[in-house]
Amino acid sequence: MQEVFLFPLVAALLFSAGSIFDKFISENKMPHSTAYFFLQSLFAITFFPVLATLIFGFEVPSMALMPLILFAAITANIGFFLYFYIVREYDISSVGPLAQTKLLFAIPLAYLFLNEFYGFEALALMLLIFPGAILTTYSKKFSLKSLLLNNRLLIIALAMAFFWALSDLPVKAIVSEIQPATFMIWRYLLSIPVIAVFALFLFKGDAKKTFVQSFKSAAPFGIIATIIGFTGMMFLFTAYKFSYTIPSALVLSQGIFVFAIAFILSRVKSSLIDEKHELRVYAVRLAGVALIVSSIFLLMNGSLVI
């Protein structure tokens, strides 16, 4: 049973490394967030279903589940589009922890749409996530007013978290009938038409030009990032065979790992990320990370699975 603890931590570390890689590629190899979104989408919908099928097998869900999986694919990809935008434009030491804030929306959404109420303790812990999210966006140039009222990173990150929370709404119903790996295979398969629709509106102008010009130089790194992400998912899905709640909680340590890796890289000469701040900035962000991760971990440790 050691796998139920070790595997999600390995997955979290791999997902963190993938985030750092995303930052490096979007800054140095394909400097356009929309172009990079399509690059990663291309590799994900190509490799993930094939590799997951080879490892976990292939299963066809019932037709009743298909609309739920399609809904998850649409909302997840909107979230990924916003994620790649903030990865390109902002510090990864802020973006990494903010990617964990979806429970801020998951709890009220579960109450509204699933009629699930997790108690006032869960609400109190959920509310601690919001000030933590604010603190993780702190920068020396920010005044208190701009941090609270003119915080573009926070607004976009919360929108990203909202769509990821929406994508998780049908997960409990889906994984009660099929394996988590099967769900992910079909989420990526159904992402193919979703990405095609996105391309009709977004794959044009500078995005298309940057994609074409940078594809050869960015593709090898994009494939590595995809392999890192897939390997992390393989560890996580393997842990799900033993438990769903414990791995779901432990994988949230990703926010800590991303922050720690970004901080270490900011202290040394590294071409992976272009991020340099005073220690005071990182101390404030660390306080935010601690609030987010501790609140979410306590929620998940209380068997809250959304």
Q: How confident is the model at residue 305 (pLDDT cuts 50, 70, 90)?
A: very low
User: What integer pLDDT is reported at residue 248 of this predicted model?
Assistant: 66
Tokens describing residue 286? 């660390």
High-pLDDT (> 70) share of the chain, %: 89
User: What integer pLDDT is reported at residue 114 of this predicted model?
Assistant: 73
CA-to-CA separations, 201 to 34, 70, 128, 189, 197, in angstroms, rounded = 11, 19, 37, 20, 7
Tokens describing residue 21? 């890689």
pLDDT tens digits, residue range 18-36? 998 899 999 899 999 999 9
| Mean pLDDT, all residues of the chain | 85
Question: For the residues of 232-283, what is the DSSP string, one character each?
Answer: HHHHHHHHHTT-SHHHHHHGGGHHHHHHHHHHHHHHS--SS------HHHHH
pLDDT tens digits, residue range 183-230? 989 999 999 999 999 999 999 999 999 999 999 999 999 999 999 988
| CB-based burial, 37-68: b 16+ in 10 Å, e otherwise | bbbbbbbbbebbbebbeeebeeeebeeebeeb
Answer yes or no: are the C-beta atoms of 171 and 182 closer than 8 Å.
no
Tokens describing residue 80? 């990924």
Tokens describing residue 69? 């999986």
Name the region of 87 (left: φ>0; alpha: ψ -120 to 50; beta: rest): alpha
pLDDT tens digits, residue range 224-281? 999 998 898 888 877 777 765 667 667 777 888 898 888 888 888 667 777 888 888 8
Residue 188 to residue 228: CA distance in whole angstroms = 16
pTM, full prediction: 0.88
74 pLDDT higher than 90: yes
Tokens describing residue 211? 């994609």
Neighbour count for residue 268 (Cβ, 10 Å): 7
Rounded mean pLDDT, 158-181 = 86
